[in-house]
Structure 1
Amino acid sequence: MPLATTSIGAIDMEDMEQLGAFKQHDDQLDVRFERYYPRSIERVWSALTNPVRLGDWMGTALVEPYVGGRYEVMLDGPHPMTGRILVWEPPHVLEFSWSNTHAPDSIVRYELTRDGDGSRLIFLHKGMPYASSALMLPGWHVYFERLGSLLDGTTPPRSKQSWREMQAIYVDHYKLSGVMLDP
Structure 2
Amino acid sequence: MNIAITPEADYGTVTAPGTVRIQRLLPGPIERIWSYLTDGELRRQWLAAGDMSPQAGSSFELVWRNDELTDPPGNKPANFGEEHRMQSRIVEFDPPRRLVFTWGDSGKVAFDLERHGDKVMLTVLHEGISDRNNMLMIGAGWHMHINVLEARVGGRETEPFWDGWQRLRGEYERRLSA
Global fold match (TM > 0.5): yes
Q: Does structure 1 residue 22 correspond to structure 2 residue 14?
A: yes
Q: Structure 2 residue aligned with 1:62, among 35, 51, 55?
A: 51
Aligned-pair Cα RMSD in Å = 1.9
Contact 1:39 1:119 in 2 (8 A): yes
Q: How does 1:113-152 map to 2 (within 5 A)?
A: 113-130=114-131, 131-152=133-154
Q: Following superposition, which runs of at least 4 residues in structure 1 exceed 4 angstroms of deviation?
A: 155-158
User: Unpaired segments of 5 or more residues in structure 2?
Assistant: 67-79
Secondary structure at the counterpart of residue 105 of structure 1: coil
Q: Does structure 1 residue 86 correspond to structure 2 residue 91?
A: yes
Taking the aligned partners of 2:134 and 2:12, their CA distance within structure 1 comes to 16
Paired residue type of 1:133: M
Q: Does structure 1 residue 159 correspond to structure 2 residue 158?
A: no
Q: Does structure 1 residue 96 correspond to structure 2 residue 101?
A: yes
Contact 2:49 2:63 in 1 (8 A): yes
Q: How does 1:5-44 map to 2 (within 5 A)?
A: 10-13=3-6, 15-25=7-17, 29-44=18-33
Rate the CA distance shift 1:30–1:54 in 2: closer, same or farther, 3 A.
same
Paired residues in the alignment total 160
Paired residue type of 1:21: T
Contact 1:109 1:123 in 2 (8 A): yes
Taking the aligned partners of 1:149 and 1:11, their CA distance within structure 2 comes to 13
Contact 1:68 1:85 in 2 (8 A): yes
Bigger strand fraction: 1
Contact 2:108 2:127 in 1 (8 A): yes
**Displacement of 1:158 after TM fit?**
4.3
User: Unpaired segments of 5 or more residues in structure 1?
Assistant: 1-8, 177-183
After TM superposition, the score normalised by the length of structure 2 is 0.82
Which residue matches 1:105?
Answer: 106
Which residue matches 1:47?
Answer: 36
Secondary structure at the counterpart of residue 129 of structure 1: coil
Paired residue type of 1:80: R
Identity of aligned residues (%): 26
Secondary structure at the counterpart of residue 83 of structure 1: strand
Secondary structure at the counterpart of residue 45 of structure 2: helix
Deviates most, 125-134 or 35-44: 125-134
